Amino acid sequence: MTDSGLRVLDPGRACVQDIGRRGQQQYGVSVRGSSDQYSSGMACALVANDASAPLIEATALGLVVEAVGDLLVAVTGAACDVTVDGHRVPTWQPVPVATGSVLRVFGIHDGLRCYLAVHGRIGAPTLLGSVTPDPGLGFGWYLAAGDLVTVTSTFVYFDHPHMRHPLMRPAVQVRRFPSPALIDVTVGPEWAQFINPREALQDNEFTVGNDSDEVGLRLTGHAPARTDRHELRSRGVGIGAVEVTPSGDVIVLLRGRMLTAGYPVAAVATTSAVSLLGQAQPGDRVRFRLVTTEEAIRTARSDRAAIEAVTASVRSIIGSVGVALPGGL
């Protein structure tokens, strides 16, 4: 067991992230966490970490780091280029990186966020059991040049000296953000207050506006018309809520949303769709598709099973060569 890590050379716009503050909503704290939880979970799986383990979320601008110690890493999320000492390496696969090597993530496209996971345990401050940044709480580790992200790991670098064959090739379901993206939604609490909501949502294309972030996406397009013009009292609202404002905009609340809202909720994006929307950027186009609750649950379970299968596969492979798993560190 050794302390190694990543020395930040160019942080872009990156932070230390995890899946968020679960179980704190009763105290008024948003869950937040990685915007694309499928990609972050798969990154962790590819290096044999738990899906809830901390990792680095790089948004739009990429990231350059130097390995301090031998590391096993994986980069997932939006399409991008990744190099180690100038040599291109695959995304969505485990990659060994020798001490002193420089890893560069750049050219992010077809999405907004990439995830860099490292085998082992990242050392980072926590608040209420999570490392996830929360501007409202004044907490979070946004990386700066010169920062050292420490990692406690037992990984020892090994590689074919001539052929450079990949360390392993686990079967991974790669997910990208297409434009237009098809967003699955279920019926929302105010569904019946809209005129032909199915047609209005499914037959129209919406564009992500500039005033969008991890709190929510503001979409422009032909929003469904509401028959009931009464104002709603502010009440609890879930992640993925598809709200329609009086001005006719559509707002999809994401993981950074506040816990209450007062706009009518026509639909709710599924768990898998929320991860997809976490990759949306201004100018991207989306379309909605109505699905049943049962279909939404099946898709979420399928995503979780895919991550668990990769975790088990990678743990079996690296365990067979004597690398300890993070839970045993």
- Quote the CA–CA distance of 327 and 244 in Å, as a whole number: 45
Task: Specify whether 59 is located in the same domain as 144.
Answer: yes
Please say if the pLDDT value at position 328 is more than 50. no
Burial 71-93 (b: 16+ CB within 10 A, else e): bbbbbbbbebebebeeeebebbb
What pLDDT, on a 0 to 100 scale, did the predictor assign at position 279? Answer: 95
CATH of the domain at 193: 2.40.100.10
Please say if the pLDDT value at position 275 is more than 70. yes
Task: Specify whether 190 is located in the same domain as 247.
Answer: yes
* Structural domain containing residue 168: 2-175+304-328
* 178 or 20, higher pLDDT: 20
Task: Specify whether 129 is located in the same domain as 30.
Answer: yes
Task: Specify whether 287 is located in the same domain as 314.
Answer: no
Task: Specify whether 167 is located in the same domain as 232.
Answer: no
Tokens of residue 46, six digits:
């590819």
* 1 or 221, higher pLDDT: 221
Task: Specify whether 189 is located in the same domain as 227.
Answer: yes
> Which of 240, 243, 231 lies closest to 269, judged by CA?
240
The single-letter DSSP state of residue 324 is P
Tokens of residue 38, six digits:
């499928």
Q: Which segments of 35-123 are extended strands (E)? A: 55-59, 63-68, 71-84, 87-88, 95-97, 102-118, 121-122
- Quote the CA–CA distance of 291 and 268 in Å, as a whole number: 10
Task: Specify whether 196 is located in the same domain as 290.
Answer: yes
Task: Specify whether 143 is located in the same domain as 214.
Answer: no
Task: Specify whether 105 is located in the same domain as 215.
Answer: no
* 208 or 320, higher pLDDT: 208
What pLDDT, on a 0 to 100 scale, did the predictor assign at position 16? Answer: 98
Query: How many domains does one find in the chain?
Result: 2
Task: Specify whether 200 is located in the same domain as 52.
Answer: no
Tens of pLDDT, residue by residue over 220-233, are 998 888 887 777 77
Instruction: Give the predicted TM-score (pTM) of the model.
Output: 0.92
